[in-house]
Structure 1
C-alpha cells in the first residue's frame, strides 16, 4: 500500500505502541485459517478494477489488513482513513506494518483536508479504506463521508465483510473482534457499488442506507 500520510505527527510513544500493535496483529493472524470469497475479482494479479473505496466496520480492523496484504498487497496500494487523535496515530503506525498508508482526519476534525487527501490518493491509483462507524461510533452507525467521496471521485465502493467462527468481542465502543488463535475467519470482498455524481438529498440518503444495509448483512452480530 501507499506509505503516504497527511502531516500530523504522533508522539514517539504512539509510534512505538502502533508498531507493536501491528506486529501483534500480524503474528496473531498468522495462526488463523482464512477463507476468502472474492466476488469482484480484486485479489487476482490480473484484475482491472480502478481504485476503490473499501468499506468495512471498525471492529473488523484486527484481521482485514493481514488478508488484504496477502491477497491484494502485491498488486495494489491503499491508505486508510484514521482520526487526527493520538488513537489515530497509533492505528496509522499499526497499518504501516502491513504497508498501508494513512490519511489523517475524521468527520469532526480535519474533515475537508481528509476528503481532499483521499481524492488525491484515488486519483493517483491508490485504494482508500474507510470505516463508516469510526472513529468513535456508534457501533454500526454510518457517517456519510464515504458517499461524498464516492460521489465526487467516481470511485466505486467495495464492501469487505469478515465472519468469525470463534472469537472474543472486547468491551470497547465497537466491540472489537479478536478471533481465537487457530480459528477460522471468512473474509468476503463483495461486489463493487457505483455512486452517481450530483445526487439530490433523497438519492444521497438512499445510497447511504443501501451501503449500510449491505455492510450489516455481512456481520454476525448486528
Structure 2
C-alpha cells in the first residue's frame, strides 16, 4: 500500500498514531527526562500562570507533549494541516494535547486567529518556527507576528538526547531510543514588540534563532 493511501485511510492512520503514542509512553517509562527552566520562565509559567508561546525546532516535535507534562497546564500545539501530520496528531491527542491545524501553506490565517484567541484566553501554545517544510533551524516570521500581536513572551525550548536516531526527513527529526537520557531546556522568555519595517522584523527572527540555539546548547551541557 502506498504511503498516500495509508495516510488517507482513517483507521490505519489512527492505528499508526496509537503506535507512536505507545512508543512515547515507552520512552517516558524507561528513560530519564529532565526539564531545566530559566528562573524567569519558571516564574512566568508557574507562579504567575501567564500564557506563553513555546518555540522549538521542528526536529524536536516528538517531545512536544513534555511541555504539557512539565508545566501541568494545557498546551495547544500548531500542527500542519497536511495529511502527513495526521499520525502525529492522533498521538498528540492521546496525550491530551489540543491541536490547531494550519501552516504557512495551508489554513494559515485561520490557525493564526485561533492561536491568538487561545493566548488571550490564557492558554499557552507551542510552535515549530521552522516548520512544516523548512528550511530547518530558520525562524519564519509567523511566530514573531504572533508574539507581537498577542504581547505574550516566547519561551525558547532546546533539547539534547543521549541515545537516539536522526530520521531521513527534511528537518532530521530526532527519535529517542528507550532507556535514553534527555534534557529539555526552557530558556529565558523573549518579548518581541511590534516593529515598523521588515529589517527590524528580520532582526527579531534572528534574535529568536539565537535564543533557540542557546537553549539547545544549555541542554547539551546539562546532558
Normalized against structure 1, the TM-score is what? 0.85
Partner of 1:52: 52
How many aligned residue pairs are there?
Answer: 210
Partner of 1:61: 61
RMSD: 2.3
Give yes or no for contact 1:103–1:114 (8 Å, CA) kept in 2: yes
Measured after TM superposition, the shift of residue 177 of structure 1 is 1.0
Give yes or no for contact 2:41–2:189 (8 Å, CA) kept in 1: no
What are the equivalent positions in structure 2 for 1:168-207 lying under 5 Å apart? 168-207=165-204
Between 1:38-47 and 1:110-119, the stretch displaced more is 38-47
Give yes or no for contact 1:43–1:71 (8 Å, CA) kept in 2: no
Residue ranges of structure 1 left out of the alignment (5+ in a row) = 1-8
Partner of 1:17: 16
What are the equivalent positions in structure 2 for 1:36-185 lying under 5 Å apart? 36-39=35-38, 40-42=40-42, 46-65=46-65, 67-72=66-71, 74=72, 76-185=73-182
2:30 is paired with a residue whose SS is coil
Query: CA 1:111–1:10 in 2, change beyond 3 Å: closer, same or farther?
Result: farther
1:93-131 per-residue CA deviation (whole Å, 9 max, x = no partner) reads 211122111111101111111110100111111111100
Give yes or no for contact 1:18–1:92 (8 Å, CA) kept in 2: yes
Normalized against structure 2, the TM-score is what? 0.85
2:19 is paired with a residue whose SS is helix
Give yes or no for contact 2:45–2:51 (8 Å, CA) kept in 1: no
Query: CA 1:86–1:182 in 2, change beyond 3 Å: closer, same or farther?
Result: same
Instruction: Please state which structure has a larger fraction of its residues in helix.
Output: 2
Partner of 2:3: none
Measured after TM superposition, the shift of residue 45 of structure 1 is 8.4
Query: CA 1:43–1:30 in 2, change beyond 3 Å: closer, same or farther?
Result: farther
Measured after TM superposition, the shift of residue 46 of structure 1 is 4.7
Query: CA 1:128–1:207 in 2, change beyond 3 Å: closer, same or farther?
Result: same
Partner of 2:31: 32
